[in-house]
Amino acid sequence: MTNEVPVTVRQEGSKSVIDVETDNVDFRNAEMLKSMLGDLVQQGQKNLVLNLSQVNFMDSSGLSVLLSGKRVTEEAGGSFSICGLQGYVNNLINLTNLNKTISVYATDLEATKG
């Protein structure tokens, strides 16, 4: 079994949009995603938008990816936001109050404006 998560990284203005192309963000792929976010920031891409529109499930490991992304981008003087939340993931983000600490947008277009 592989821990690789299919992602696409694209530049939209000053922000890098990371399209997570998997159903689940959980203990099987969380460390790889954290590492990838850290690598992007080290490469100078410090304004990140994590597009979760294809993600239907997230566990506590997935939440730690979001917190890690926020931490590494802010330490670099950048910004971190998420977009495209689906039913379960949206409920989880609201239930854990992460929507109060991480900017949440409906679409990647909204997240990359300005």
Burial group, residue 67, by CB count within 10 angstroms (0-12, 13-18, 19+): middle
pTM assigned to the model: 0.95
Residue 36 above 50 pLDDT? yes
Please answer whether residues 48 and 19 qualify as being in contact, where contact means their C-beta atoms are separated by less than 8 angstroms: no
What tens digit of pLDDT does each residue of 49-107 get? 999 999 999 999 999 999 999 999 999 999 999 999 999 999 999 999 999 999 999 99
pLDDT (mean) for 25-38: 97
- Categorise residue 77: left if φ over 0, alpha if ψ from -120 to 50, beta otherwise: left
Structural domains in the chain, CATH included, are 7-112 (3.30.750.24)
Buried b (16+ CB within 10 A) or exposed e, 48-64: bbbbbeebeebeebbbb
pLDDT (mean) for 14-43: 97
pLDDT of residue 105: 98
pLDDT of residue 5: 81
Unique residue bearing structure tokens 């590492």: 35
